[in-house]
Each structure stands twice: as structure tokens, then as C-alpha cells.
Structure 1
Amino acid sequence: MTTKISGARGRPRTFDVDRAIETAMGLFHARGYDAVGVAELSEALGIKPPSFYAAFGNKAGLFERVLERYATGDANVFLHARAQGGSTAEVLERTLMRAAQLYPTRNGAAGCLVIDGTRNSADPDARALASAAQRAGRDAVRDFIAIEAPDRAEEIADFVVITLFGMSAAARNGVGEAALRSFAEAAGRTLRREFGLT
């Protein structure tokens, strides 16, 4: 997707919105929502602040687009795991192992953007957007579990989500892939042993 951005003179230049969202995603993920200002975003995207506001409304508007992209891409560990099929336990185990692979620091970013991108943020709009994305992710996990275990779907979804939150925080504190994989394997065994998933 491209948008024409008017300059002070000459022909409008084409602005690649998709590329801008990917760039902003990297910045928000690496440093958190509050630490990235509109001036820095505009410079990174190659546009001036008025054009930034014209394209996204405000910083929260861009963050909303970033979260939408993040939720539909490879970083959505549950979506990725479910697409490969398998039993409930296999999909959830794969979800946790995928998190162990993706959450350690890569290209200056660690953890999950949806979980940690607005941690301690002073912006209520950004916090609300992240909370909505977190709820949507948890609901997707719960609805999937409910196919096999409707009576315990809420409890098991809480276990999975809390595990992911902990893994994200650990990764942001420097815990590496080997330790996260070991933890994910233990959590997977708990899903089978304590919750009786197959």
C-alpha cells in the first residue's frame, strides 16, 4: 500500500505505508511505545511530522496499525503454531516453543511487542490498544482449547498466557533461548499432566 505525500514543492512522492509500519514496529518493539517520539518516527519513515499525522492520525494510530500487523504475522506465536495443525497439547506446546525461539534478543528487540510494548506507558490510548490485542490473543487461545476441554478452557488459557508473559519478561531481562526452551518444555509437560490435554 502506498500513499502520496505532498512536499513543499514539486510532485508528491510515494510513501510506502507497509514499509513504514514495519519500520515503526521495529522501533516500538526495541524501545517501547513511550520512548519513540513522532519526530524520530517521522525521520525513520522519511516524512515530515505533518505528513506523519496525515497518514496515521497520531502516534497511537500508527501503533494500532503496528499491532494489527504484528497479530497477523509470524510473531503471533499461537497463530503460527495453530496453522501447523495437531492436537490441542501439540499446538500449545508449539506455541510456547515458538515463543522461546522468538523472544530472545534479536536486532535489538526482545520479548513480545503486544505484551511489553506499552509496559509502564503513560499513554492511555496505547495501553488500551495493547490490552485489547492481549485480550484478543487470549480469547483465540481459549476458544481453541474449548474445542477439547470446554470446562477448563479459561483456566488453561490463563496458564498459557501467563506463561507467555513470564517468558517475554525473562527474555527482555536477557534470558536466552536455551533456558526459555527448557522452561517451555516443562510448561508443555504441565499442560499434559496437570490439565490432561492430549
Structure 2
Amino acid sequence: MNEKTRQRRSAFDREAGVAIAQALFHERGYDAVSLADLTAAMDINPPSFYAAYGSKAALFERAMLRYAHENSLPLDELLAPDRPPAEAISALLLAAAKQYGRDSILRGCMITEGMRANDQAARQMAENLAHGGIQAIRAYLDEVHPQDAQALADYIAVTLRGLSASACNGMSSKRLMEVAQAAGRFIARELEASESTAAS
């Protein structure tokens, strides 16, 4: 093949590579995705990979940021100050259940599942990103129900993580939503009981 007919390889698209990595990490988890998996999926060699992303952990962080940008729950809308707390929290849990179970392959929350990575650096990155969402929920509860804000925030965090893990384990979207609705009813009863105690 001469110079005129030789096809020049197109430049590597780094953002497209992040999207590829995001799908792999979301489907399999950080620990189960190897460098060989990433370079094969992106059709690049290891030196090019390191030049583009620095490390697997650094790419994981970029992939999680991309995931968060595309999939973050609209907390400002769900936890609107003028919305009754029981309704707002129930809506949050239901929205999470729908999101975690909507795809047959990319299930659960990528960031939540990243917090279970064996790799300490990757796990810390996921925890840092998840912290912002939990803090936003806690700030909302501090405003609307300060007396039980910490316990409620912990309950919501545990429920969200349980929904994500269950989605990853194959629980159907219908069952996930039923669990979210049941948790929402429980929180509504707890808030009502707490308010009754405070008023008496």
C-alpha cells in the first residue's frame, strides 16, 4: 500500500474513551475492569492510555463525574422547601429506584457501587462524590425536621445503597419501586409520630 492509499488512523477521542470506560465500570465494577479491558474497548495501546488518562483510577474518577453529570437525581426539585417532607423523601427514593433499575445492563448507581471497590483510591473518589449528595439531603432535613435529621439521613443513605445493590443483583424495577414506596410510607409514619410527640 503506497502513501496515497494508506488510511491514516483517526485521532483518539478522549471523551469517547471516558464514555466507554463509564459503561464498563458501571456494568462490571471498578475492580473487575482491567487495563487490558479498557485498552481493548478503546482500541488503543497502554502507553496511549496512560498518556490520555494518567491511570485507571484517574479515568474512573472522570467516568464517575460524567455519570454524575448525566444521572444525578434532581435533589433541588425533589427536595423543594415547599414540599411536605414525607412526600419529598418518598419521591426521592422512588426516583432512585426507577433510575437504578431502568437499564437491563447498567444497573444500580455507579458511584454508590464504586464505594465498595477494593482499590482504596477508587473507593475514596467514589465516597467523595457520594458525600455531596448525602450532605444535600442532610441539609434539607436540618431545615424541615432538625430533631431527627441525622437518623433520617442515615436511613435514606442506607436505603439508597440497598436499592442500588439490589438492582445490581437483578431485582426487577417493579420490586425496587415497591421497596422505595414501602420505605417512603415508613418515613411518613415516623415523621408523623415525631411531630405528634413534639406537639404533646
Which interval holds the TM-score relative to the shorter structure?
Answer: 0.7 to 0.9
Residue type of the partner of 1:186? A
Number of equivalences: 185
Between the aligned partners of 1:140 and 1:99, the Cα distance in structure 2 is 15
The equivalent residue for 2:100 is 103
For residue 101 of structure 1, report the CA deviation from its aligned partner.
1.2
Residue type of the partner of 1:106? D
For residue 72 of structure 1, report the CA deviation from its aligned partner.
2.4
For residue 172 of structure 1, report the CA deviation from its aligned partner.
1.8
Between the aligned partners of 1:71 and 1:14, the Cα distance in structure 2 is 27
Gaps of 5+ in 2: 1-6, 196-200
CA gap 1:107/1:175 in 2 versus in 1, 3 angstroms: closer
For residue 147 of structure 1, report the CA deviation from its aligned partner.
2.2
Which stretch of the first structure deviates more once superposed, 107-116 or 163-172? 107-116
| Residue of 148, 171, 178 corresponding to 2:174 | 178
Q: TM-score, normalised by structure 2?
A: 0.81
Q: How does 1:3-152 map to 2 (within 5 A)?
A: 13-74=10-71, 76-77=72-73, 80-83=74-77, 85=80, 87=83, 88-104=85-101, 106-117=103-114, 119=116, 121-152=117-148
Between the aligned partners of 1:184 and 1:105, the Cα distance in structure 2 is 14
Q: Is the 8 A contact 2:86 2:191 kept in 1?
A: no
Q: Is the 8 A contact 1:29 1:110 kept in 2?
A: yes
CA gap 1:89/1:19 in 2 versus in 1, 3 angstroms: farther
Q: Deviations over 1:89-118 (max 9, x none)?
A: 333222211222122272422211112135
Structure with a larger share of its residues in strand = 1
CA gap 1:20/1:107 in 2 versus in 1, 3 angstroms: farther
Residue type of the partner of 1:30? E
Aligned residues with identical type, % of pairs: 38
Between the aligned partners of 1:58 and 1:184, the Cα distance in structure 2 is 37
Residue type of the partner of 2:145? A
The equivalent residue for 2:152 is 156
Q: Is the 8 A contact 2:94 2:181 kept in 1?
A: yes
Please say which structure displays the higher CA radius of gyration.
2
CA gap 1:26/1:151 in 2 versus in 1, 3 angstroms: same
Between the aligned partners of 1:48 and 1:90, the Cα distance in structure 2 is 51
Between the aligned partners of 1:190 and 1:149, the Cα distance in structure 2 is 15
Q: Deviations over 1:36-79 (max 9, x none)?
A: 111211221232211211121100000111122222222x23xx
For residue 187 of structure 1, report the CA deviation from its aligned partner.
1.1
Q: Is the 8 A contact 2:17 2:42 kept in 1?
A: yes
| Residue of 189, 193, 197 corresponding to 2:189 | 193
Between the aligned partners of 1:72 and 1:83, the Cα distance in structure 2 is 16
Q: TM-score, normalised by structure 1?
A: 0.81
Q: For residue 144 of structure 2, give the secondary structure of its aligned residue in structure 1.
A: coil
Structure with a larger share of its residues in helix = 2
Q: For residue 33 of structure 1, give the secondary structure of its aligned residue in structure 2.
A: coil
CA gap 1:92/1:72 in 2 versus in 1, 3 angstroms: farther
Taking only aligned residues, the RMSD between alpha carbons, in angstroms, comes to 2.5
